[in-house]
Amino acid sequence: MNLNQYEIFQKENKIPYLSVLKTFELDSLYDYYDFENDIEVCYMMSDSIGLGKYNHENMFALSYYYNLIKGIYLIGKGGYDGVSSFSKRELASFLLLTGATSFKIFHNHPNGVLDVSQNDELSAMAFRGIGHTIDIELTGSYIVTLDGYYNIEKHTSGYFKEGNNYEW
């Protein structure tokens, strides 16, 4: 299975289009994975995409057409302390141009800690709002490290309970 990472460009008339930046060749093991399953998709992001290995924060979106992954997009990069900003317009363009029916967001914490910050919670709410505006459902917003993951989207009620992080 191959997974294309896209970047967005604009034609002279300002119409956006996607171009393949990189292709991840996933092990045949992933042919049997259920990418709607939190554990399996987060493990793929950590293991094959290498999200847990970065020494700076990266944020990615996975576009889904029903249960099929259509592509991956790097939303933003940051330093050790987080992604400073991202383009709502580019994320919406990526989702629309891939024909998404839903999407998931992933970012890493370079320190390996699965603690959720206020920025993590606010970003999850912003992504939910973007999806709502263009009628594409956000089905998860995750922190991914080498040791496990945390689904922020399931717990964005203004506070976080202990025990919502998961180890491989």
Q: Is 101 part of any domain? A: yes
Query: With 60 as the cut, is the pLDDT of residue 11 above it?
Result: yes
Q: Is 43 part of any domain? A: yes
Q: Is 13 part of any domain? A: no
Query: With 60 as the cut, is the pLDDT of residue 163 above it?
Result: no
For 27, phi then psi, to 5°, come to -55, 155
Q: Is 3 part of any domain? A: no
Helices (H), 52-104: 88-97
What is the rounded average pLDDT for all residues in the chain?
84
Encoded tokens for 7: 């970047």
Q: Is 58 part of any domain? A: yes
For 39, phi then psi, to 5°, come to -60, -45
Please choose, from the candidates 22, 122, 110, 33, the residue with its C-alpha nearest in 3D space to the C-alpha of residue 73: 22
Q: Is 156 part of any domain? A: yes
Helices (H), 13-143: 38-47, 88-97, 118-134
Q: Is 4 part of any domain? A: no
Q: Is 20 part of any domain? A: no
pLDDT band at 159 (very low <50, low <70, confident <90, very high): very low
Domain CATH for 129: 3.40.140.10
Q: Residue 78 is part of which domain span?
A: 33-167
Q: If 0-12 CB within 10 Å is exposed, 13-18 middle and 19+ buried, where does residue 23 land?
A: exposed
pLDDT digits (tens, 9 = 90+) for 89-143: 899 999 999 999 999 999 998 888 888 888 888 888 889 999 999 999 999 999 9
Number of domains forming the structure of the chain: 1
